[in-house]
Amino acid sequence: MTEDYESKSFWLANSGPYQESPPLAGDLKCDVAVVGGGFAGTTTAYFLKKAEPSLHVVVLESEVIGFGASGRNAGFAMTTFGLMMSLTKTMFGPEKTRQSHHYMERAVDLVGELVAEHNLDCEYERTGFLRAATTPAYIKRIQDEVELVKSLGLEGIEWIDAKATRARVNSPLYLGAWWEPRCALLNPAKLVREMKRVSMQCGAQVYERTPVTEIQRNADNFCLKTPKGCVTAGRLALTTNAYSLSIPQLRRKQVPVWTYIVLTEPLKPEQLAPIGWKDREGVEDYRNLVHYYRLTAENRLLMGGRDIRLTFGDNMDKDLDDRIFGELEQDIIELFPSLKGVKIADRWGGPVSVPVDMTPALGCLGDHRAVYSLGCMGHGVSLMHLNGQVLADLLLEKKTQWTESFPVGRRVISWPPEPIRYVVSQAILGYLHAEDAWAERKGFGIS
Ligand SMILES: Cc1cc2nc3c(=O)[nH]c(=O)nc-3n(C[C@H](O)[C@H](O)[C@H](O)COP(=O)(O)OP(=O)(O)OC[C@H]3O[C@@H](n4cnc5c(N)ncnc54)[C@H](O)[C@@H]3O)c2cc1C
Q: Which atom of ligand 1 is nearest to the CA of 259?
A: 1
Q: Which atom of ligand 1 is nearest to the CA of 243?
A: 37
> Measured from the CB, is residue 379 less than 6 Å from ligand 1?
yes
Instruction: State the pLDDT at residue 220.
Output: 94
Give the single-character DSSP code of 406. T
The overall average pLDDT reported for the chain is 96
The per-residue pLDDT for range 222-280, each reduced to its tens digit, is 999 999 999 999 999 999 999 999 899 899 999 999 999 999 999 999 999 999 999 99
> Measured from the CB, is residue 389 less than 6 Å from ligand 1?
no
In the predicted structure, residue 443 carries a pLDDT above the cut 70: no
> Measured from the CB, is residue 212 less than 6 Å from ligand 1?
yes
What is the residue extent of each domain of the chain? Answer: 1-126+185-254+356-415, 129-181+255-354
**How far apart, in whole angstroms, are the C-alpha atoms of residue 124 and residue 190?**
10
Pocket probe for ligand 1: among 124, 243, 246, 373, the residue whose CB has the most ligand atoms within 8 Å is 243
Instruction: State the pLDDT at residue 2.
Output: 55
> Measured from the CB, is residue 195 less than 6 Å from ligand 1?
no
Whether 267 and 330 have beta carbons less than 8 Å apart is answered as no
Of all protein residues, the one whose alpha carbon is nearest to atom 36 of ligand 1 is 36
Q: Which atom of ligand 1 is nearest to the CA of 65?
A: 49
> Measured from the CB, is residue 282 less than 6 Å from ligand 1?
no
Q: Which atom of ligand 1 is nearest to the CA of 380?
A: 19
Instruction: State the pLDDT at residue 1.
Output: 46
> Measured from the CB, is residue 80 less than 6 Å from ligand 1?
no
Of all protein residues, the one whose alpha carbon is nearest to atom 18 of ligand 1 is 380
Pocket probe for ligand 1: among 215, 251, 352, 383, the residue whose CB has the most ligand atoms within 8 Å is 352
Average pLDDT over residues 370-395: 98
Percent of residues, the chain, with pLDDT higher than 70 = 98
Helix pair angle (188-201, 85-118), 10° resolution: 60
**How far apart, in whole angstroms, are the C-alpha atoms of residue 59 and residue 35?**
6
| Cβ neighbour number for residue 20 with a 10 Å cutoff | 15
CA of 442 to the centre of ligand 1 (A): 36
Instruction: State the pLDDT at residue 445.
Output: 54
CA of 361 to the centre of ligand 1 (A): 14
Pocket probe for ligand 1: among 224, 240, 390, the residue whose CB has the most ligand atoms within 8 Å is 240
Pocket probe for ligand 1: among 73, 225, 386, the residue whose CB has the most ligand atoms within 8 Å is 73
> Measured from the CB, is residue 75 less than 6 Å from ligand 1?
yes
With b meaning 16 or more CB within 10 Å and e meaning fewer, what string describes 390-405? Answer: bbbbbbbeeeeebbeb
The per-residue pLDDT for range 305-324, each reduced to its tens digit, is 999 999 999 999 999 999 99
At 334, the amino acid letter reads E
Whether 387 and 34 have beta carbons less than 8 Å apart is answered as no
Same fold, 1-126+185-254+356-415 and 129-181+255-354: no
Give, in degrees to the nearest 5, the angle at Cα 212 between 208 and 216: 145
Q: Which atom of ligand 1 is nearest to the CA of 39?
A: 25
Instruction: State the pLDDT at residue 441.
Output: 81
Of all protein residues, the one whose alpha carbon is nearest to atom 14 of ligand 1 is 378
In the predicted structure, residue 344 carries a pLDDT above the cut 90: yes
**How far apart, in whole angstroms, are the C-alpha atoms of residue 238 and residue 233?**
13
Average pLDDT over residues 80-106: 97
Superfamily of domain 129-181+255-354: D-Amino Acid Oxidase, subunit A, domain 2 (3.30.9.10)
For the domain covering 1-126+185-254+356-415, report its CATH number: 3.50.50.60
The per-residue pLDDT for range 134-155, each reduced to its tens digit, is 999 999 999 999 999 999 999 9
**How far apart, in whole angstroms, are the C-alpha atoms of residue 31 and residue 58?**
8
